[in-house]
Amino acid sequence: MAVEGDQRRGLQPYLDSLRQELQVPDSTLLSVLLALLAVALTLLVWKLIRGRKSSRRTVLLVGLCDSGKTLLFVRLLTGTYRNTQTSITDSSAVYRVSNDKGSSVTLIDLPGHESLRLQFLEKFKATARAIVFVVDSVAFQREVKDVAEFLYQVLTDCTVLKNALPLLIACNKQDITMAKSAKLIQQQLEKELNTLRVTRSAAPSTLDGSTSSGTAQLGKKGKEFDFSQLPMKVELVECSARGSKAEEGSVDIEDLEKWLARVA
């Protein structure tokens, strides 16, 4: 018994030291635990954001009436020509992109009529992964103000900005001689959007700086507007859904297909 007592007295200093370490965490250990917690939270947030983006699998085709949206929609899905007409509702179908992942997205062709386009954009924007804004390159000079007005509404939409949706301006009908180039269309659109921004900024604004519900300031204050100021990436391509001889002509939608493969 005496031996056991001596052994216990010999271990007592170590037991006391262990109790103290358990009661008072070491600063180094605490720092490591906090760092691990920060990493875990970062990974969790990243996973949530990635999951939210992966759940958005639709690409919206928008634009004015007669810009060629529906024929582009048909060409992408079937590769064939079809006579189309102005629609008053949306059309959707699964599109398999040409990439190594074998990804697919749902293409949605939205009506271009002035009284319908914002209504349908509102309906589908939350599930959108990207937007294709189709422009009639032949009628562009005549329609530039209307095109810029609609594009302004898209680019200042809070949901579009929050999700930083990639946007492609598809300069369609390039097979026609009078078609304007993508470079000229970009310059004219940036100029018109800058004018619209100045006009809208003069309107009464709310406390958060927006001019109306669901919209936000376009670009950077004090600078001439250009697409590089936006949180999302805006690109322009030239394309032709019709071809030089309608169904017999060669179409040019390769750049559009490549863009869809990147965003899918």
Q: Are 238 and 137 in contact (CB under 8 A)?
A: yes
Position 68 pLDDT exceeds 90:
yes
For residue 231, the 8-state DSSP code is S
- Round to whole Å and give the CA distance between 256 and 186: 17
pLDDT of residue 123: 94
pLDDT digits (tens, 9 = 90+) for 102-123: 789 999 999 999 999 999 999 9
Is CATH 3.90.1150.10 the right assignment for the domain spanning 58-202+216-263? no
Q: What is the domain partition of the chain in residue ranges?
A: 58-202+216-263
- Round to whole Å and give the CA distance between 207 and 40: 36
CA separation (Å) from 205 to 121, 125, 198, 202, 214?
A: 23, 24, 13, 8, 12
- Residue range 209-234: average pLDDT? 80
- Round to whole Å and give the CA distance between 164 and 128: 10
> What is the percent of the chain where pLDDT is above 70?
73
